Amino acid sequence: MADMGPRYVPTKLLGSGVHGQVWQCTDEKSGSRAPVAVKVFDTRVPKQLRGLERELVASVELRSRPGAVNRHLVAPHACVFTGSAHVGLVQRLAPGQSLDRLLLLKGRPKRLGVRESMAVFAHMVEALDFCHNRGMAHLDMKAENVVVVAAAHGAWEACLCDFGLSTATAPPLRMGLVGSFGYIPPEVLAHGVLPNFAAMPYAPTAVDVWAAGALLHKMLLGCLPYGADEIMRTALYSHLDRRAAISLMWDAVASAESWRKHVDPLPSCMQGAASLLDCMLQKDPRNRPPIADVLASIVVTTTCGLADDVSDDGADMEQLRDALFRGG
C-alpha cells in the first residue's frame, strides 16, 4: 500500500497499470474527512515520469485564469510525495463508474440511447472547450477516461479524467503517434505508418475533435468508427503488434469515403447526431470544426435534430443507472 504521509490515508486501490496507480484516500485534514483520489507515479519509470510532467503542466494551465475549473474535468489540485521515487497527484474523487464500464453493462449492442449519449457528449465537449480555451489539448479522449456520475432527478454528470497525454495547443505543434486505438485520427495514424510523416506536426485540438466524435459514435452505435473494434479483434487473435494494428487501421480509414461506410443502415433516430459526426470525423483535420463550434451546435442538435429514440436502448436506463451506481 502506498505511504502518503499523515494527511492522505489510502483506503482502496482504484486502478493500476503502466501509467501508475490510483488510490482512493481519506483527506484527514478536511473537516469532513472527504474522500479524494491520488494518482501515484514512479519517477524511475520513463513513461510514468512523462505522464507526471504532463499532468502537472495541465493542472497549472487549467488554473491559470481566475475562476473554478470546469465541473466536467477531473484535474490534479495538490501534490504529495509518497517516497523517494514516488509522487502522488491529488484530485477530487468522481463517485461514479467509467463510461466504458457503463457500456459493458448494457449487454449487446453496447450502446446508449440517443438522448443519454448526447447528454454525456455535451459534457465532454464542454470540458474540451474549457481545456482548449486555456491552451491545453487532452489527446486521450476515450470511454475509459470518462466517469459518469449519478446526479439529481435521474440525470447524469460526466467528467473527463487523465491528462497523462495532454499537451499545449500553442506552437510547436505535436508530433508522433499518441492516443488510444480507435480514437486516433488519420493525421496521427500516419505517424505510425508513413515514414515521411514522422516529422510532420499536427494540431492537437483537431485530434481532440476527432476523438470526441469517435466517442459519440461509440455511445450511439456501440462501436468505434471505421471498423476499429473488428480490427482490434483481428490484431488480438492474430497476435499482431501495435504497429501492424495501426497499419490496418490506417488502411481502413484511408480506403473509406467516410465513417458512414461502416454503418448501414443508419438508425433514423440518429440523423441529427449524424451531422455532428460528419463534421467531427472529417479525415482532413483542416475541415473539422473547432470544439467551440461543436459546443454551439449541440444546442441546435439536441433541440431540433433528435427524433425520439424508438429503440429499446433507453427503456432500461433507469434500472441500468441504479445497478451501475450501487456497484452492480
The three-state secondary structure class of 26 is: strand
Going from the N-terminus, what domains does the chain have, and what CATH number goes with each?
8-92 (3.30.200.20), 97-324 (1.10.510.10)
DSSP-assigned letter for residue 283:
S
Half-sphere exposure for 285 (CA within 13 Å, toward CB): 18
Query: The cell 485520427 sits on which residue?
Result: 185
Q: Please indicate whether residue 289 or residue 95 has the higher confidence score (pLDDT).
A: 289
The CA-to-CA distance between both ends of the chain, in Å, stands at: 26
Question: Is 39 assigned to a binding site?
Answer: yes
Sign of the C-alpha dihedral, residues 298, 299, 305, 306?
positive
Q: Which of 33-47, 74-88, 200-214, 279-293 has the lowest mean pLDDT?
A: 74-88
- pTM of the prediction? 0.85
Q: What phi and psi values does residue 94 have, to the nearest 5 degrees? A: -85, 110
Segment 180-205, tens digit of pLDDT = 999 999 999 988 787 776 667 889 99
